[in-house]
Structure 1
């Protein structure tokens, strides 16, 4: 059924019908996630894929990712022997990487934990509200009453981000108006977007609403999903001592205990890559993907699907199907060693990033951030739970899959040279 929707009738289903909450969060559905297939969608996707998320661009900002990962290591080293909220710290690291790519802003010093917790709270609430059953979506005539207050809640959360975006855009425009040196303005994604908006395309112009909607996509979608994957992976590894042993053994062989992980090491870590794939099998970032909407009435598997329906593809269930996977609830990275499974969406037994035209645009970025983060965390530290605590894998419902109980771990240094933690 997933193949019929996402491949056989991909063009028909490559459309979206934003929920009231989705519209409120993305400037009326002006972003890449909620825009339906067509000229505007192609323009937005090209902007993201060619400029921000291409391998060439990601290679060019490696030093930025490295700096943030090293700062995270320094912070964790300062907390050795003490409980650390792993998800919160990794959220801030990913947030700093993405905001640097977008507009060059970072959060450092004493503000690190406070701002990270605040941003993550807002993002988590947005992801949670996005999938709440809303009377306004089922009975559009009642939407103007917002009977459950869902739109009002999302409007409030979106405004918090909008104020940040406005301030940053105004600052950038002011620098341009005053003839500020381009050398002083980093060649970031925002600069590219503003230039593209001014140059304009007569057929599919990029407007300021699109600009802010894309910024929202990157900040909200890019941070929460990668962070949740890292948190689930660390939880599974800490729950499986043999997996942790094999992962660290591989890291020692490739990196050594007298060195730090660099991104080029990742290509030589097949077991860790299998850990990431197995994590995304059991805990896909978007368990139902983003809902699809047929542009015309059609037949799928003998059923009539009316035009405008919401169609959910439950990848979470497919990837736990016992008819496909042996011992599907067991965390077993070895099932992905020497296998053909990848993130292309071509196999409908395993497609954690979706498939077809609307496949996630951030696969390359997510893969790099998750792999680099996991490799560094496991190479630099041993991890254990606080005394008396047990791991809880209960999932929190939302458009994104999240641990209901945050993962708290105690780091212990593993590296020989203490200067490697500086």
Structure 2
């Protein structure tokens, strides 16, 4: 009887939300075209297992500015560079807020997170700290030695696999390296080890957090259900976030203690040192609590997306041996054999840069970017975007649009050799990191990490597929998530260069 009462209460809330939402829709003016929504659930079922692909197919029917009803939430899907430019640049201020997913409310993360905070003084201060204290050329140049150490460990691990004729799970190796590149840049330590169970906890926490954050959540489609947490996603998020915050607490306390124990403590060229220095001169702007949530953003955003991009780049190169040869020959010519690739080499490797651009076009790490929200009713292309609507920019669709790209379903790095286009947010045909004021602040670090890791794997080894597999048989199916990982992990045998 109690369950029936509870069910009826929840159902009445849902019906009330739908009726109120439909009333708002009638008052909203001319909405963009879109598929007809079912009662209560709206268009949720049309998202499928891979929403970025489903939305791309729907956009070919209803156009590049499309309206959907996802539960009780008005949703606008943008699938062209021109409209993306209007949303992310021309009307950037109107669309600068976020829709807050239930998972991000764990430990009030959304109130302290650079990713979720509204564009106001607190957000601007955090953005300024990131730009000046973390991702400036000066700061990144100072910490590049830390990243070289991690790349050397990757190279040593693959070399050991080569000697022992062991297959390499390239995605997993890239994930461990990305995690250690981030932890080295942030804390000057490794969070994980190859072939070791002793330090895998942090790796599993971060992977779990990424999976929880990407999981479809009824509480996001029907905000009235947030207090129920029907799928347990908020509970899982609290568990993962809590564990990470404890780890950060220990690292921060250790650093503060070492600084207080000795006036002449050895300075570290990492982000934590820079932020602590900054916080001690600007204490009111950056508390330890806010610092921990900032570090949480950085470690989550910088790990899975980087490793996923590297795995996709290697996947496409193994599927296209002639392009692998071009990349390898360029590295041999510019960097020379038996020499570790350095960050200063990247600018002299145009084909490698084209490989990464093509990978980001073809397999963008954030296929729908982080959702934005309309602050007010606004008209775009003759249609009304209602206040509080969720805005999804389908960069996966833009990257596969035959009106923009010749042979969009082919991996062709050469298309970028004679085309002046980059992914820094100015060219809306290629915006894997977003654009406007909410563009990913870690882009300068991601740029270095992705190129260096891919170059290390290409330059130091030849690769052969598992027994009997042909290049065209390498799986390229995607698994929807925050970073669009491969559905089937890429595994290959490293071969020592002659």
**TM-score of the pair, normalised by structure 2:** 0.78
- Counterpart-to-counterpart distance in 1, 2:111 and 2:366: 18
Among candidates 375, 395, 403, match of residue 315 of structure 1: 395
Aligned to 1:87: 171
Counterparts of 1:258 and 1:157, CA distance in 2: 41
Q: Cα RMSD (Å) of the superposition?
A: 2.0
**In structure 2, what is the Cα distance between the partners aligned to 1:200 and 1:24?**
27
Corresponding position of 2:146: 64
Of residues 278, 297, 303 in structure 2, which corresponds to 1:217? 297
Pairing partner for 2:112 from 30, 45, 62 = 30
Cα shift readout 1:126-149 (whole Å, capped 9, x = no counterpart)? 223223332322333321111121
1:4-43 map, 5 Å = 4-24=86-106, 27-43=109-125
Q: Is the 8 A contact 2:192 2:203 kept in 1?
A: no
Task: Pick closer, same or farther for the CA change 1:273–1:194 going to 2, 3 Å.
Answer: same
User: 1 CA distance for matches of 2:166 and 2:286?
Assistant: 48
Of residues 428, 440, 446, the one that matches 1:366 is: 446
Counterpart of 2:25 in structure 1 is none
Tell me the equivalent position of 1:261: 341
The correspondence for 2:411, drawn from 331, 345, 357, is: 331
Q: What's 1:419 paired with?
A: none
CA distance in 1, matches of 2:254, 2:378: 49
SS in 1 for 2:97: coil
Cα drift, residue 368 of structure 1: 0.8
Q: Distance in 1 between matches of 2:307 and 2:118?
A: 27
Deviation, 1:187, is: 4.5
User: Which residue matches 1:413?
Assistant: 496
- Contact 1:136 1:142 survives alignment (8 Å): yes
Deviation at 1:256, TM superposition (A): 2.1
For residue 228 of structure 1, give the secondary structure of its aligned residue in structure 2: helix
Q: 2:258 aligns with which of 175, 178, 181?
A: 175
Residue deviations 1:134-186 (CA, integer Å, cap 9, x gap)? 23223333211111211011111112211211211222233344x33443352
> How far apart, CA to CA, are the structure 2 residues paired with 1:405 and 1:181?
52
CA distance in structure 2 between the partners assigned to 1:372 and 1:26 by the alignment = 35
User: Counterpart of 1:248?
Assistant: 328
Q: 1:287 to 1:108 in 2, by over 3 A?
A: closer
Tell me the residue number matched to 1:104. Answer: 188
Size of the aligned set, in residue pairs, is: 411
Distance change (3 Å), C-alpha of 1:351 and 1:256: same
Question: What is the CA distance between 1:13 and its match in structure 2?
Answer: 0.7
Gaps spanning 5+ residues in structure 1: where? 417-422
SS at match of 2:462: strand
Matches within 5 A, 1:169-318: 169-177=252-260, 179-200=261-282, 205-318=285-398
The runs of 5 or more residues in structure 2 that have no matched partner are: 1-82
Q: What residue number does 2:131 align with?
A: 49
Q: CA deviation at 1:116?
A: 7.1
2:279 and 2:191 mapped to 1: Cα distance? 28
Q: Which has the higher contact order (CA 8 A, sep 6+)?
A: 1
8 Å contact from structure 1 (residues 284, 315) kept in 2: yes
Q: Which stretch has the larger CA shift, 131-140 or 218-227?
A: 131-140
Moved over 6 A (4+): none
In the other structure, the counterpart of 2:67 is none
Residue matched to 2:219: 136
- 8 Å Cα contact 1:128-1:397 kept in structure 2: no
- Note if contact 1:292-1:311 (Cα within 8 Å) is conserved in structure 2: yes
The answer as to whether partners of 1:353 and 1:363 remain within 8 angstroms in 2 is yes
Q: Is 1:346 the counterpart of 2:429 in the alignment? A: no
Give the match's secondary structure for 1:402: coil
